[in-house]
Chain A
Amino acid sequence: MENRSLKKVTSVWIITILVLFLASITLGIIMRFNQGTQLHLKPNTFYATLTTHGVTMIGIWAAAGLVAINYLLSRYVKTSAGLSIFALVFTVIGVVMLWMSTFAGNFHAAWTFLYPLPLAPYAAWKAWATNLFLWSLVVFGVGWLVWSVGMMAQILRNYSITEIFAWQHLTGKEPEKKTPPFILISSVSLIGIILCLLAAVVLLVFFFMEMYTTGVKNDALLMKNLTYFFGHTLANEALYLGLAAVYELMPEVGGRKKFGTTWYVALGWNCTMVFVLTAFFHHMYMDFVQPGGFQIVGQLASYFASLPAAAVTAFSVATLVYRNRIKWSFTNLLFFIGIIGWLIGGVGAVIDSTISNNIILHNTLWVPAHFHTYNAMGNVLLCLGFFWWAAHDFSGTRDTFRSHWPTLTLLLIGGFGFVLMFYLGGASSVPRRYAVYPEGIANGAPLATAAAWFAVVYLVGMLMVFLTIIRRCTKAFSPAS
């Protein structure tokens, strides 16, 4: 009964996320066409669209990872469909509040909503829009925090603290109780998510103290640190949730033996857990009043956070597919390409997080280039792999690749073409966050137009994925399932 409820709520989650994803891609296409001068939005509308696109995308793909591990955790521990429903309701309410704040209230301080901009007296939006935006974040945060803590509590009922971190594997001896990689990565990621959501709580408390009391002014540097502690960490941990699904499902779908936890897998993910929490300092390079030591920590943590997880995962996936008979399905291809996209985007991120490069690349299209690569062609594909697998699991249909190669071709051409335009823009110093490029930036508009058309191709591919998944997910509600 519980499993059936879990399937149902997972199906609703998948459909909700994909609907919001298609809508947010459309917003992205509108913005790129505007930058390419094919459309002519008012600047306020452009930035309201940018804000909606950014927050929705980060939110839904973090939620997608939580959906995936919530469903897959039921293989190891008892999971709660109730908590998932609770988080779903809060997410939907949060999305409605967010979209109202931006499109009805014209709030357009971007996903970063860097202090003091949301509270600025000269801001071109009404105070209620700021209130609604910040409260929408509260609603998201409460839903996901309760859900994440709930999942963590369930894991801890079956595994001790040392076991969730797989420390018993670090000795090199065969442990009495093994920690599956899925439990290790889920735990590491959930702890990171809980931590960054708590950072958001502190940030929002400071915002509200200034908004609802008199005489309180916040420190801009502290607020920026908290914003990126929350935002950067959430975006990274969301990726790791997708990887947890890959570790769990990729060998299984490919007809191979499951991945095991070895000392280097345990070490790699423990390092990632620690370093990813301090990597956000690389967003503060331009804040020269930040203590110098933190800037160095930011650069080193950016290397150390990404390298262990990337190396261990790339090695594991390579050993799985190299000279091995593996059953390729659409799920596995999405996982495999998603890993490649994550690694390419990761390299772009590490290049940008190096201080000497960041001075040049900081405000260019290189930044959206790398994060769109590891999201649109990384985490999205990893989670989509899970969605595809789950939809087939719910409907009892066979997951094959044969009839879906046009979909994959569209996703590949559209996705990589789209991010390539960002990289080319970044490499030629086209600035980011411009609604319209001034005349002096010759490359900006044509690259934006090309990117928009590639995104249209990607959108068509996603629509095809969506239609297949929705047909299968609805089977979860049929009495026979």
Chain B
Amino acid sequence: MYKSLLAGLLALTLAGPAHPDGGVYDLSEEEGLYTPIADVPLHLASDTTQLSRLYARQPVMVALVFTRCTGICSPFLLRLAEDMRALDPREKFKVLVVSFDPRDTQADMDGYARLFQLGGDDRWLFATTPQIEALTSSVGFRPTWDSLSGQFDHEALLVGVNGNGYIIRKMAGIRERKDIASLIKTLTGEFIPSYPLPGEDRLLSCFTYDPVTGVRKPSYGLLILLVPAAITFILMLWMGLASRKWRLKKS
């Protein structure tokens, strides 16, 4: 038992990192924002179209999956479907699910849609594309083929594309419903309150924020606003007392 554990640890150490250059894990939610998404041809259940024809009609939320995925794709799509049903801003945007696996056929995608009971839902489109490289590179998505497991090593990615074809939001991983609601608001042009968080390198922040509880509290930075008032008060007091002495002397 002890030996096998040691051998296992040794094997892991020698194997080194699976993705020495960062691989799928260097996926950034900021990279490529406000740049155009690749306008690729799409094979849908009923016809073939260009991505630009979709986003020209209404904003599009793009989800990248592959049907043989034994990992994150199914829970990701299941959760997204639940969130969409709960949030339900119908007719405002489309959810385009595109396979990034060249082996996937349109029939595979149709089956995938039925699996999640989304086949009859107009808002959802399941597609394949012959130019998947162009699409994935334009959104900064880099799946890596793992021949041992016969799977793509990849992160779940949801991309918001506005009516002009620009990537306006990217979300990695399975996210909470409030994040999806925020993405929908971005897509539909609603105001999203956002503010840079007070980092440790910030000098005298005006507020603190706890990301766990979502509570923000006033902080020491606000006290700086009292400094000009305090200096003026001291200055006035000093001048007032000094001039009183001067007046007494004069009288």
Contacts and interface: CB of A to CB of B under 8 A. Distances in A.
Nearest to B193: A288
Contact of B228 (A160, A196, A288): A196
B239 interface: yes
A287 B198 CA distance: 14
B39 to A, nearest CB: 24
A221 interface: yes
Interface string A152-169: 110011101100000000
B228 A221 contact: no
A289 interface: yes
Interface stretch (A39-47, A211-219, A259-267, A319-327): A211-219
Given A152-B236, A287-B195, A288-B193, A219 B221 contact: yes
Interface in A220-241: 220-222, 225-226, 229
Nearest to B223: A222
A114 interface: no
A194 interface: yes
A202 B201 CA distance: 19
Contacts of B204: 218-219, 222
A290 interface: yes
Contacts of A216: 203
A219 B228 contact: no
A209 interface: yes
A291 interface: yes
B192 to A, nearest CB: 11
B25 interface: no
B239 A289 contact: no
Contacts of A229: 225, 228
Nearest to A289: B195
Interface string A265-304: 0000000000001000000000111110000000000000
Contact of B225 (A161, A220, A226, A288): A226
B196 A220 contact: yes
A221 B221 contact: yes
A347 interface: no
Interface in B215-249: 216, 218, 221-222, 224-225, 227-229, 231-232, 235-237, 239-240, 243-244, 246-247
Given A217-B203, A289-B216, A222 B221 contact: yes
A149 interface: yes
B199 interface: yes
A222 B206 contact: yes
A219 B196 CA distance: 9
A344 interface: no
| B-side interface size class | 20 to 34
Interface string A189-200: 001001110110
A206 interface: yes
A52 B223 CA distance: 32
Contact of A222 (B196, B224, B235, B246): B224
Interface residues of A, number: 36
B190 to A, nearest CB: 14
Interface string B194-210: 01101101111111010
B228 A218 contact: no
B233 to A, nearest CB: 9
A84 B236 CA distance: 21
A152 B240 CA distance: 10
A161 to B, nearest CB: 4
B227 A202 contact: yes
A161 B240 contact: yes
A138 B30 CA distance: 37
B239 A152 contact: yes
Given A152-B236, A152-B239, A198 B206 contact: no
A444 to B, nearest CB: 20
Contacts of B202: 217-219
Nearest to A209: B203
Contacts of A221: 195, 205-207, 221
Given A160-B240, A202-B227, A289-B216, A218 B232 contact: no
A191 B232 contact: yes
B224 A226 contact: yes
Nearest to A221: B206
Contacts of A157: 243, 246-247
Interface of B: 193, 195-196, 198-199, 201-207, 209, 216, 218, 221-222, 224-225, 227-229, 231-232, 235-237, 239-240, 243-244, 246-247
28 contacts: A149-B239, A152-B236, A156-B239, A157-B246, A158-B247, A191-B236, A195-B228, A198-B228, A199-B225, A201-B228, A202-B224, A210-B203, A217-B202, A218-B202, A218-B204, A219-B198, A219-B204, A219-B205, A221-B206, A221-B207, A222-B222, A225-B225, A288-B193, A289-B195, A289-B207, A289-B216, A290-B207, A291-B222
Given A210-B203, A225-B206, A289-B206, 6 more contacts: A156-B240, A195-B232, A198-B231, A219-B203, A222-B222, A287-B195
